[in-house]
Amino acid sequence: MNGEDKGLPRAMRVVVPVLVGIVFLGMWEAFVRLGNVPPFVLPAPSLIWTSLVLNFDSLMGSLWVTLRVTLAAFLLAIVGGIGLAILFSQSRRIEMALFPYAVVLQVTPVVAIAPLVLIWVGYDRVELAVLILAWMVAFFPILSNTTLGLRSADHNLRDLFRLYGASRWQVLAELQLPSAMPYILAGMKISGGLALIGAVVAEFVAGSGTGTGLAWRIVEAGYRLDIPRMFAALFLLSGLGIAIFFSLSWVEHLLLRRWHESAVRREF
């Protein structure tokens, strides 16, 4: 929220981007129609819409598959990331021993391990393989942010807790976790998007399996040169990513609005 935005009415924040979107789509439509661009190069937005309506059932089914995997990977990343970070915060030794391996998990490209994971899990359980791969991508930002957050509790407050004889558990629950909350939420915002990216990339590599996600719809449409359908799937993916991001921003706002600088609306 920059200084110059202060006077902007709330409605404008929605109206302006929507207008930009409409103008953009209009120019796209005009460009395709006036330039006679063939639909297998660039389909017009109207054609993409038609394709979306025609393939609504199969695309929505795929959207659900992708959403399911993404959310499951994301939730497991939250549990695993925060859990491991708490373990790290309790013992420097454990952190020292394990953190490098967490980094290995992060820096290894998911595309490179996908075939291996797929073999281990079995081709009959592709969705599980995709889930594992998406989790691997989403897990690290939460781990590293939470680890940092748990460590950045105010030192004087720490002393105060010691002075009052607080137990390890009380320090964690009453001081470290609340202090880490803004960090955890920032990590979650990154991870939410990464879980989706992981799910899509993993599905590209792993293939269809039983459930077919949006990624596979894109591959499929590519094979058939059904570009409007490809765009329709692409739009749904972007929409999903945007929805995840804004839901997490909203959760962040709800949790931090009373106290954290990042979420406080200044009235002067």
Q: Kindly state whether residue 253 participates in binding other proteins, applying the rule CB under 8 A.
A: no
- In sequence order, which residues have a C-beta less than 8 Å from that of residue 141 and are 6 or more positions away? 81, 187, 190, 191, 194
Identify which of residues 64 and 159 has a Cβ nearer to other proteins in the complex: 159
Q: Which is nearer to other proteins, 10 or 155 (CB)?
A: 155
Residues of 69-96 as b/e, b for ≥16 C-beta within 10 angstroms?
bbbbbbebbbebbbebbbebbeeeeebe
Minimum Å gap between C-beta 185 and other proteins is: 12
Tell me the number of residues near other proteins by CB under 8 A.
21
Alpha helices in the chain (DSSP H): 10-35, 45-54, 56-90, 92-107, 110-121, 126-151, 155-163, 168-170, 177-206, 214-223, 227-256
| Closer by beta carbon to other proteins, 197 or else 263 | 263
Which 25-64 positions form the footprint of other proteins (CB under 8 A)?
A: none
Q: How many other C-beta atoms are found inside a 10 Å radius of the C-beta of residue 104?
A: 9
Question: Would you say 9 or 165 has its CB closer to other proteins?
Answer: 165
Restricting to residues 157-216, which ones interact with other proteins according to CB under 8 A? 157, 159-166, 170, 174-175, 178, 181
Stretch that binds other proteins, among 9-17, 101-109, 206-214, 256-264 (CB under 8 A): 256-264
Positions touching other proteins (CB under 8 A) are 154, 156-157, 159-166, 170, 174-175, 178, 181, 258-261, 264
